[in-house]
Amino acid sequence: MKNIYLDNAATTPILPEVIDVITKTMTDFYGNPSSTHQIGRKSKSLVETARKNIAKQFNAASNEIIFTAGASEADNLILRNAVTNLGVTTIISSKIEHHAIIHTIDNLVKEFSVNVCWVDLDERGGINYTHLEELLQLTEGKKLVSLMYVNNEIGNLLDLKKVSDLCIANNALFHSDAVQGIGHFKIDIKETPIDFFVCSAHKFHGPKGVGFAYIKKGFGIHPILHGGEQERGARAGTENIHSILGMEKALEIACANLKEETTYIQKIKSYFISELKNNFEGIEFNGYSESETKSSYIILNVRFPKEYAMLLFNLDLKGIAVSGGSACQSGSNKGSHVLNALLNEKDAIKTSIRFSFSKLNTINEIDYTITTLKNLIN
């Protein structure tokens, strides 16, 4: 049986070059970076070099990068500090953010009575920038806008520059969960001065359990994990050296080959869209996922013309790994909060599948997937 992996928005396979770096680090550089002996100092030097190299990819300073156990921790660190440390009293966000944002905001509301404003969306989940500007102008006090760069379920792209300009004009802070964008799109914080964004290495062929928070210089960040002075006092805990260096390598590879890989993966996605349209009547695409300009080239969210209750399961039996929504919602019987926010009742009960691609996929795999779908639902 073939094994075809089309769930790269959930996680990506680790590249062999990254595994080599991780293995060598675990074998040769086992010192605690906080130790004063030369073995520890070598580990510290490797961590700080990785920090500098990662920062360079975004035209940032090394002291603006805080290593974390992933993007969810980084989102929590930033949002909680915004309220408890930076004086934010109003958070402006959207109803289709990742749960790392929505659930954190919910908890901040319970703990601190934060004012939350939800920006309007168009019928395909695009941000209504006019309404965002109105919210920024109408709300008083310190404000933070938290909007994700790439929606993890429907692939919609946020205009980072437009939102950044609106926040600057209205004296608001700007945070973006950029998990699905980093390693796939170029971010230059000198051109687009975001105050905060977060990254998770496993979204661009790096290891799981490691990421970082970008925090613009000048913001004093208080830790949410206590117990040590690691990460410049912003996060306690011995550094995950081998994963940090694996992330550094994965990001280096992604950024070095960004143009070529973008072209290749977009070709895969466009071919899949064409084959779906040619072989199935009534196919629709959720969000802007069909668009080459308004959606990530990684993600395609397909809505079939009716409900096929066992389609995900049957695809899995045929060796095709896909997702019905965010992998972070596995086990939930509530369905996708993103699709529930966008679709009417009639469309919401139809089967929707998120296919997400990487440079490791091939046209032959798409052909097999199309054939399999035809056998299962026609």
Helix (H, G, I), strand (E, B) or coil at 355: strand
Task: Give the bridge partners for 320, in sequence order.
Answer: 4
By percentage, how much of the chain surpasses pLDDT 70? Answer: 97
Pair 8, 24 in one domain: no
Instruction: Give 62's DSSP letter.
Output: G
Pair 316, 233 in one domain: no
Q: Parallel, antiparallel, or unpaired: how do β-strands 320-321 and 4-5 relate? A: parallel
Pair 210, 342 in one domain: no
Hey, what are 71's tokens? 């993007």
Residue-range definition of the domain harbouring residue 316? 4-12+258-377
Pair 237, 337 in one domain: no
pLDDT band at 2 (very low <50, low <70, confident <90, very high): confident
Pair 237, 332 in one domain: no
Average pLDDT over residues 74-79: 98
CATH of the domain at 363: 3.90.1150.10
Pair 93, 230 in one domain: yes
Pair 98, 115 in one domain: yes
Look at the chain and count its residues.
Answer: 378
Computed over every residue of the chain, the mean pLDDT equals 95
| CA separation for the pair 96, 289 (Å, rounded) | 15
Boundary-marking domain end, from 231, 256, 281: 256
- Residue 329, pLDDT > 60, answer no
- Residue 23, pLDDT > 70, answer yes
Active site residue 328: yes
Boundary-marking domain end, from 206, 233, 256: 256
Pair 251, 263 in one domain: no
The conformational region for residue 205 under phi > 0 = left, psi -120 to 50 = alpha, else beta, is left
The position carrying tokens 């429907």 is: 154
Pair 252, 262 in one domain: no
**43 Cβ partners below 8 Å, 6+ apart?**
29, 30, 31, 32, 33, 35, 239, 241
Boundary-marking domain end, from 199, 223, 256: 256
- The domain total for the chain is 2
Among candidate residues 117, 167, 199, 328, the one labeled active-site is 328
Q: Which has the closest alpha carbon to 225: 234, 217, 216, 215? A: 234
| CA separation for the pair 174, 165 (Å, rounded) | 10
Pair 286, 200 in one domain: no
pTM of the model: 0.95
CATH of the domain at 208: 3.40.640.10
Pair 296, 360 in one domain: yes
What's the pLDDT score for residue 333?
A: 57
What's the pLDDT score for residue 328?
A: 52
| CA separation for the pair 196, 172 (Å, rounded) | 12
> Nearest-5° angle of CA 35, CA 249, CA 221?
55
Q: Kindly report the number of other CB atoms within 10 A of residue 37's CB atom.
A: 9
